Amino acid sequence: MIDYDICKEKLKSILSEKRFIHSVNVSKAAEKLAVCYGVDVNKAKIAGLLHDACKEMGEEALTKLLSEANSELFNAFKNFPFKLYHGPAATVYLREEFGIDDEEILSAVCFHTTGHADMTVMEKIVFVADYISEERPFGNLKELQALALKNINLVMFDKCKVAIEKCINKRLTIHPYTVATYNDIIEKEGN
């Protein structure tokens, strides 16, 4: 079993205090969701903790890591804003620097920003935990946290909507995986 406390200490040494606090909060949110939805709690905690391990790296380092990921991932992300790279890039970084080789954890980290169609429960948990972590300044945070325990898909919908609106407002390209996640939820939950 991957040791949570060792990962936490190591993460603390590579992230700013603000990002570290966010990471611990995401891990706590992921733990609650994992208990609720019956998936491996330790894996969810680790994935939540480490999801932003590469978030503070520069474009060059992220591009290098991404290019070392599998070609499918590289091709899926290479033409989009580099801020999205930190998920897929972490699949390489966490293997090399943290010794994480659990595919369930790695794919949840990989897709925590964009999502994709037909996500696993573990992927959904990290995707949503990142959105409802305790330090988020949303006025409706408590409602979102409660809703996530009842119907996680509806909080995924909210995260996609906000992400897509942000891209439109900033005239940024929208990653097709985000659109696929959105469409998938609409198909499953209706409009």
Q: By the criterion CB under 5 A, which residues form the site for Fe ion?
A: 52, 130
Specify the residue, 52 or 184, whose C-beta has the smaller distance to Fe ion: 52
Give the C-alpha distances (Å, rounded to integers) separating 170 from 60, 84, 130, 182.
23, 15, 21, 19
Shortest distance in whole angstroms from residue 187 CB to Fe ion: 26
Which residues, at least 6 apart from 91, have a Cβ–Cβ distance to it below 8 Å? 69, 73, 106, 107, 109, 110
Specify the residue, 52 or 158, whose C-beta has the smaller distance to Fe ion: 52
Shortest distance in whole angstroms from residue 58 CB to Fe ion: 15
Specify the residue, 52 or 123, whose C-beta has the smaller distance to Fe ion: 52
Shortest distance in whole angstroms from residue 107 CB to Fe ion: 14
Specify the residue, 106 or 186, whose C-beta has the smaller distance to Fe ion: 106
> Cα(164)–Cα(182) distance, rounded to whole angstroms?
9
In this structure, are residues 177 and 156 in contact, taking their beta carbons and an 8 Å threshold?
no
Kindly state the greatest CA–CA separation across the chain.
44
Shortest distance in whole angstroms from residue 23 CB to Fe ion: 7
Which phi and psi (to 5°) does residue 183 adopt? Answer: -60, -40
